[in-house]
Amino acid sequence: MIALFRVPALFIAFLLINIALYVVCLLRPFHRDNVHIAGQMYSLMAKVVGLKIVIRKDPAVKDDEPYVFIANHQNSFDVITICKAALPGVVTIGKKSLIWIPIFGQIYWLSGNILIDRKNSGKARNTLDIAANKIAKKKTSVWLFPEGTRSYGRGILPFKQGAFRLAKTTNEPIVMVTASNLHKKVKWNRWNNGTLLIDISAPVPLNDGRDVKEWMAHFNEQMKQKFDELNAQVDELEKSR
């Protein structure tokens, strides 16, 4: 019964938020804080689906310093959940095909995000060069989903090397952003769908003690551990409700 009201409410909220963001992006296209604002506005829809988002940010992470953010990618609800953790001055790297999604795609492009052509490995490598230039010239942070695809309940998938090559090239630290399990968490007919914990870990510089593949494996293991920790904490919160 709740779904009869929730689905239309979500659609209306999504439409109104996109219109507002479209106006913002037209007034200040490619502004360094557009992605941050979009993340804050899209996350308002979490309340519509009955989710409470709690973000824990390590105090060592500063809003005005550039980083390479890596985050876990679970499902389509990520746009209203983990994207709330996008700090000021961050842009993401996403599929070039996103631009063809009506309104949302144009907002994504006008927000200053970097589009990557996954079918063309040469252009994909060039995209990382563009990202490196943004970090160097504009002191912009870059956010990537190193799994490269949604996990849909499979936990933390193996990482790809792009984020870690970027961090090595720019000499900027990696900041790990981990959200607790989101798979099958939203039940349309359940009023309260619980809490989603998002952890923004302390920056880690990539020194020469490990090569790119070793750093990739290291952070993959670290995110798996953090994911399990957050899920255990959520379970405790759910039991105490």
pLDDT tens across 176-211, in order?
A: 999 999 999 999 999 999 999 999 999 999 999 999
Collapsing DSSP to helix, strand or coil, 237 comes out as helix
Contact 170, 206 (CB under 8 A): no
Distance CA 147, CA 194 (A): 25
Q: Which residue has the tokens 């993401």?
A: 92
Instruction: Give this prediction's pTM.
Output: 0.93
Long-range contacts at 225-228 (CB < 8 A, ≥ 24 apart) = 226/176, 226/178, 226/199, 226/201, 227/72, 227/155, 227/156, 227/178, 227/180, 227/181
Cα separation, 145 vs 192, whole angstroms = 28
What pLDDT is stored for residue 116 in this prediction? 78
- Which of 139, 142, 46 has its CA nearest to residue 94? 142
Query: Closest Cα to residue 151, out of 179, 123, 193?
Result: 179
pLDDT at 120 over 70: no
**Nearest residue to 54 via CA among 177, 179, 231, 150:** 179
Taken in order of first residue, the domains within the chain and their CATH numbers are 2-239 (3.40.1130)
